[in-house]
Amino acid sequence: MQEKPNIILITADSLRANHLGCYQYPPPTSPHIDKLACEGVLCENMFAPGIPTQPSHTTIFTGQHPVTHGVVAHGGKARLTRGSPWLPEILYEEGYTTCAVDTLFRERIWFGRGYEYIVDPSLRHMFYASVTQEELNERAIQWIKTVPKGPFFMFIHYWDVHYPYTPPERLRGLFYDGHNPTDPDNHELDEWWHHPIGAMARDTWLRSSSGLIRDPKYVTALYDREIRYLDEGIAALQAALEQQGMAENTIIWLGADHGESMTDHRICYDHYGLYDCTVRVPTVVRWPAGKLKAGSRLAPFRQLSDVAPTLLEATGSVIPEEMEGRSFLQQMQGQEEPSGYDRVIGLESTWQAKYYLRNSRYKFILARQPDMLGNPDRELYDLAADPGEDHNIATEEPQLAAGMEAELEGWLADKLQALGKTKDPVKEEGAVAESIWAGHRS
């Protein structure tokens, strides 16, 4: 057997942790992923320090916080500098054959760095996120069977769970116990139609032969069916590895760039807002030859910047000093006691311009500019009493809110100074998409 492990790094775009069975979701959305978790290790508290897709994936591959790498917005002005560490590039230099089954390089050039092979069946679609797990798997499995002569690194970016939610016909009927998805008297989604993503959904994928879909429970069922469809794809990929005799020494790292708000916080079927439904992401890792402690669940806080350092340690590679994340490989192997961060600080700069500071008890959210939903500039949630983050206690607990704000601002000031930067990147970018939309309206 080759000494270095193969790596398949999977991000399921917009996959919300608590809609998986292994994260206590009751409907059976994820039987195969749940099995993967039983055979490997699950992180209960993995957080995205930057959302959505472009900032988060940049963090995954650089091992850096968004304030450090500078890519804080999806579709923003910032570009990743050439000198930034980049996981696929490092593995390529270490002798890995590298392959991306992905679309991101079409949007931002740095996502193509370090790959000898890029496979992109989404070219066959008008909208790249319509590409299915079956289309990606067909190419990925063919590549695995024929190309690599030594250890390989493959990144697969599944889009099934990202809107539009159009699961295959054969999953029809799953996860919905309502009676009339198109009831014209149901107005629960009316506010969403005023958001450009909601208007787009209303004009396209929520239309049916029975009329416009108006029941949010039905839309959530469509999202869950997409998870079930993705789950089948994960099973097919794993079965192919078994057939090739590669499953033992291949690390399967299944994660997500961010979650998804259903209708939480008046954010409908989208991935903005710094609430846990969107910033807490699933992480399941399987690697039999690496002697991961099968079935263990790591509770301490981790961040997506830890992914690259952990994979580099697993391959015996040197972790660049510029990577800020920390490997937790030995915790996954049961050789170290589980430990992690006391707090996570994160941001968004796409539909909203905000920061969050989360510790084990509280979440504080600070807006750099007013948001389109009219939320207050400061939000504070007691996660022990209010895990859904429904009751803002910032005015009831002003000292606590002020203390967390000072902690956040102090961290940012120190960070910027250490980086030799003077400007807050979230203030610089602003809410990029919201501002473009405002421009169209005016």
Partner 1 sequence: MEQNPRKEGSDDRVVPEPPAPTPPEDPAPVMRPEDEALVAERLRELGYIE
Site residues, partner 1 (CB under 8 A):
74-75, 106-107, 125-128, 130, 164, 166, 169, 172-173, 176-182, 196, 199-200, 203-211, 213, 218, 222, 432-433, 436-437, 440
Question: Minimum distance between the CB of residue 255 and partner 1, rounded to whole angstroms?
Answer: 22
**C-alpha count within 13 angstroms, C-beta hemisphere, residue 183:** 13
- Report CA torsion sign: 275, 278, 284, 285: negative
Decide whether 130 or 392 has the Cβ nearer to partner 1.
Answer: 130
Q: Report helix, strand or coil for 54.
A: helix
Report the residue number, 52 or 85, with the smaller CB distance to partner 1: 52
Q: Where are the alpha helices (DSSP H) in 327-370?
A: 329-332
CA distance 282 to 7: 18
213 vs 312, beta carbon nearer partner 1: 213
Contact between 425 and 78 under an 8 Å Cβ cutoff? The reply is yes
Least CB distance to partner 1 at residue 269 (A)? 13
Helix (H, G, I), strand (E, B) or coil at 197: helix
On the 0-12 / 13-18 / 19+ scale of CB atoms within 10 A, 374 is exposed
Smaller CB distance to partner 1: residue 51 or 332? 51
We find the least distance from the C-beta atom of residue 162 to partner 1, in angstroms, to be: 11
User: Judged by CB, which is closer to partner 1: 82, or 441?
Assistant: 441
Instruction: For residue 27, give the DSSP letter.
Output: S
- Report, in Å, the least distance between residue 440 CB and partner 1: 7
Phi-psi bin for 75: left (phi > 0), alpha (psi -120 to 50), beta?
left
CB of 343 to partner 1, least distance (A): 30
Query: In the bound complex, what is the minimum distance in angstroms from residue 305's beta carbon to partner 1?
Result: 24
Q: Is 202 in contact with 214 (CB distance < 8 Å)? A: no
Choice between 220 and 315, CB closer to partner 1? 220
Q: Which residues pair with 382 in a beta bridge?
A: 362
Residue 324 Cα distances to 111, 203, 415, 431, angstroms: 19, 43, 12, 26
CB of 351 to partner 1, least distance (A): 9
Closer CB to partner 1, residue 74 or residue 286?
74
Q: Which is nearer to partner 1, 136 or 345 (CB)?
A: 136
How far apart CA 157 and CA 100 sit, in angstroms, is 8
- In degrees, rounded to 5, the angle at the alpha carbon of residue 215 between the alpha carbons of residues 212 and 221 is 105
Beta bridge partner(s), residue 364: 357, 380
Provide the minimum distance between the beta carbon of 211 and partner 1 in the complex, in angstroms, as a whole number. 8
Rounded least distance, CB 266 to partner 1, Å: 19
Whole-number minimum distance, CB 180 to partner 1, in Å? 6
Beta carbon nearer to partner 1, 5 or 181: 181
d(CA 409, CA 297) in angstroms, rounded, equals 32
- Which pair of tokens denotes residue 401? 């809110």
* Nearer to partner 1 (CB atom), residue 228 or residue 363: 228
Find, among 22, 32, 89, 28, the residue nearest to 241 by Cα. Answer: 32
Q: Is the torsion defined by CA of 168, 171, 175, 177 positive or negative?
A: positive
* Residue 365 φ then ψ, to 5°: -120, 130
